[in-house]
Structure 1
Amino acid sequence: MKLQQNENSDGLKELFYNNQGRLIHKWTSYFPVYERYFEQYKNRPVTILEIGVFHGGSLQMWKKYFGKKAIIYGLDIDPRCKSLEEENVKIFIGSQSDRKYLKWLKTQIPKVDIILDDGGHTMKQQRVSFEELIDHVKDDGIYMCEDCHTSYWPSFGGGYLRKGTFIEYSKKLIDYLNAWHTKQLTVNSFTQSVRSISFYDSIVVFEKMPMEKPQSIMTGTPSFIMGETKKNSLGRKFYLKGCRYCETILAFLKLPSPSRK
């Protein structure tokens, strides 16, 4: 991902360490990940939803980092957080594990460029929020779930290789990125709308992009003939040796093999 240069030179780490405003709690390893994905939105019209308001400090940090064109939404279960609203910052009070509430929330705000889940960090909260809100991220947007180390903490419902943690849940989604290539899986809305999943220490990032069935294309002419030939079921000759990968692709796509004259 190419990082862009913007007029606002304040990086997130600088804003965090120089913070004299409301309380912010962050792991220092997160800042390079934030910058990698969020820098492209600086000083541009951007819409953000942060799950987990805490004391409101991170909402102020995002506002300073992204600039005056940013519209920021916060979601928290603590009613006191409503008092932290300010210009271009609107806060909703509700549970991130309440599917009915999240469906309602989507009727109240436009599709967003970024969702950052920094909420309660339990397995149910992270999974439900992702399942209900991933479709409310724009086609070229980012869904980021942080503090995923709780997937390894029993007190949050986690545990190493424990079924149902957000880390294990996300690992399985890797297969659906590649569902085009196996008959064991069905291509679904996730396959068709997410281009990548990236794992960092305690963070999982999903990049949205409309996806179509990939095509394998050859251009140019062969430089040499490889191996003996054999007729396939269609009566066409194909390269028996040295091109197993190509033949597998063609078989999967149900295309005739390249003939050798």
Structure 2
Amino acid sequence: MNQLEQYFEQNQQRLMHKYQHYFDIYDRYFSRFRNRPITIVEIGVSHGGSLQMWKEYFGPQATIWGIDIDPRCKTMEEENIHVLIGSQEDPAFLKTVYEQTGPIDILIDDGGHTQEQQRISFEHLFQHIQPNGVYLCEDTHTSYWNIYGGGHKRQGSFTEYAKNLIDLINAHHSEQASLQVTEFTKTANTIHFYDSVIVIEKTPRPAPKPKMTGKPSFDATPSKKNLVEKLEMHFLLKTNKILQMMGLRGFAINRMIDLCSKK
């Protein structure tokens, strides 16, 4: 049991509600920030219990900001804890968040949990996460709940939205115009999917470059392909591009790789 879970189990202060498997996830990504001068933003204050937990966990150098649409949450403020009142799906309000908090080291979205709220918050606030910072969205099981605008593989759910971010992380390798390098490609290093939690770690990332070291174990001199091999590879590449446009699976991949390796 880590210190966050211990705090939760022994909590006699403000009310909070968590799934118990969250604590290991929190500790995995947040422990390196402890006892450092950092800024934490949590969307969703409710009774204020988790804000107090973060204050205890991260230590006296941390500045903690809560965001909630309920004006009563303003009363949760105390030393090193500030509360902003506004809607997480209001772009104008989200702009004022960064103006007040400055660069953010950790953002936790535990707000209203609708698909639009999660998406809009991410699109407006991820850019303000510090290099080597963390964006964590929890309770993403609402991506599967109709009442929150979700559903299995439903277009527009935050989980489906986040799956597309995997493509963007790999965009440097894309051969298709439909997948281009974006600012997200250049700044996001990893995406982790857990039960009800999605974590994105932000690290500046240049285009990857392959590198070879060591001595060859056999003759690696490139050989010239004969005309038949060239025609075969051309046919396979064209065929697979057509299949891709039709939304069908490719084929003869092993043969294509074998031909390409003979360059």
Class of the TM-score when normalised by the shorter of the 2 chains: 0.7 to 0.9
1:97 pairs with 89, 96, 103, which one?
89
Q: Which residue identity lines up with residue 218 of structure 1 in the other structure? A: M
Q: Is the 8 A contact 1:227 1:242 kept in 2?
A: no
CA deviation vs aligned residue, 1:15-47 (integer Å, no higher than 9, x gap) = 001000000110111011001001111112221
1:1-261 alignment to 2 at 5 Å? 11-184=3-176, 185-225=179-219, 229-230=223-224, 244=257
Moved more, 116-125 or 211-220: 211-220
Q: How far, CA to CA, are the matches of 2:196 and 2:83 in structure 1?
A: 25
Q: 1:228 to 1:175 in 2, by over 3 A?
A: closer
> What's the CA shift for 1:131?
0.3
Q: 1:243 to 1:219 in 2, by over 3 A?
A: farther
Q: How far, CA to CA, are the matches of 2:222 and 2:67 in structure 1?
A: 65
> What's the CA shift for 1:183?
2.7
Q: Which residue identity lines up with residue 75 of structure 1 in the other structure? A: I
Q: Is the 8 A contact 1:226 1:242 kept in 2?
A: no
| Percentage identity across paired residues of the two chains | 52
Q: How far, CA to CA, are the matches of 1:190 and 1:76 in structure 2?
A: 27
Q: Give the secondary structure class of the aligned counterpart of 1:164.
A: coil
Q: Is the 8 A contact 2:2 2:23 kept in 1?
A: no
Higher helix proportion (structure 1 or 2): 2
Q: Give the secondary structure class of the aligned counterpart of 1:113.
A: strand
Moved more, 166-175 or 217-226: 217-226
Q: Give the secondary structure class of the aligned counterpart of 2:25.
A: helix
Q: Is the 8 A contact 1:45 1:69 kept in 2?
A: yes
Q: How far, CA to CA, are the matches of 2:92 and 2:210 in structure 1?
A: 42
Say how many residue pairs are matched: 235
Q: How far, CA to CA, are the matches of 1:143 and 1:64 in structure 2?
A: 20
Q: How far, CA to CA, are the matches of 1:11 and 1:246 in structure 2?
A: 55
Q: How far, CA to CA, are the matches of 1:223 and 1:166 in structure 2?
A: 48
Q: Which residue identity lines up with residue 115 of structure 2 in the other structure? A: M
| Moved segments of 4+, more than 6 Å | none
Q: Give the secondary structure class of the aligned counterpart of 1:230.
A: coil
Q: Which residue identity lines up with residue 108 of structure 2 in the other structure? A: L
Q: Is the 8 A contact 1:10 1:65 kept in 2?
A: no
CA deviation vs aligned residue, 1:106-159 (integer Å, no higher than 9, x gap) = 111111110000000000000000000001110100000000000000000000
Aligned to 2:229: none
> What's the CA shift for 1:221?
2.8
Q: How far, CA to CA, are the matches of 2:41 and 2:206 in structure 1?
A: 28
Q: Is the 8 A contact 1:118 1:147 kept in 2?
A: yes
> What's the CA shift for 1:67?
0.8
Q: Is the 8 A contact 1:174 1:197 kept in 2?
A: yes
Q: Which residue identity lines up with residue 207 of structure 2 in the other structure? A: K
Q: 1:133 to 1:220 in 2, by over 3 A?
A: same
Q: Which runs of 5+ in 2 are unaligned?
A: 227-253
